[in-house]
Amino acid sequence: MSEDQQQAAPIVVLVDDDEAVRNAVRFSLELDGFSVRSFTDGEALFDRPELCAGSCLVIDYHMPELNGLDLLRVLRGLGITAPAILITADASDAVRLRARSNGVLVVEKPALADLSDKVRELLAASGNRPAGR
Q: How many CA atoms lie within 13 A of 23 on its CB side?
A: 3
Q: Measured between alpha carbons, how far is 79 from 130 in angstroms, rounded to an integer?
A: 22
Helix axes 93-101, 68-77, angle to 10 degrees: 10
Question: How high is the pLDDT of residue 69?
Answer: 94
Question: How high is the pLDDT of residue 108?
Answer: 83
Q: What is the pTM of this model?
A: 0.81
Give tens-digit pLDDT for 12-39: 999 999 999 999 899 989 988 999 999 9
Q: Are 62 and 41 in contact (CB under 8 A)?
A: no
3-class SS of residue 112: coil
Where does 1-127 show beta strands of DSSP type E? 11-15, 35-39, 56-60, 84-88, 105-108
Domains identified in the chain and CATH numbers = 3-125 (3.40.50.2300)
